[in-house]
Every structure is written in structure tokens, then in C-alpha cells.
Amino acid sequence: MPIVTLEISKGRTREQKKQLVEGITDLIVTTLNVPPDWVTILIHEMDRDSIGKAGKLLSEDD
């Protein structure tokens, strides 16, 4: 049973997360030849002030 964990910054809409889950599920089903109900996707949303990239907090660009 594939389990995928995504860590993304907060602010995505429900529709964006739905599309992300559908797309990743389709990819895993096709690639691993498993049924969709075997695929579990966990989305962890993080505040932009808790993520650093290139020496800066993501919230600095807001």
C-alpha cells in the first residue's frame, strides 16, 4: 500500500489539493499497477514563516 506524504505551504484551495491528490493517485496507480484504494496521500500544510529557502523565510516574500 503506497503512502505519500506531501509537505506544502498553507494557502492552497481545497480544489487545488483535490487535483493534487487525484493526479498523484493516478500516477501511482499507473506506475505501480495498484488499485486506487491502495493509495493513501497525507497533506501536511505548513505556515510560510516555518519554511526557509535560499536563506530566507518564504513569508518574507509575502
Kindly report the backbone phi and psi dihedral angles of residue 31, in degrees, each rounded to the nearest multiple of 5, phi listed first: -75, -45
H/E element, 15: helix 14-32
C-alpha 52 chain-centroid distance: 17
Instruction: Given the residues 2, 21, 29, 57, select the one marked as catalytic.
Output: 2
Specify whether 35 is catalytic. no
What is the set of active-site residues?
2
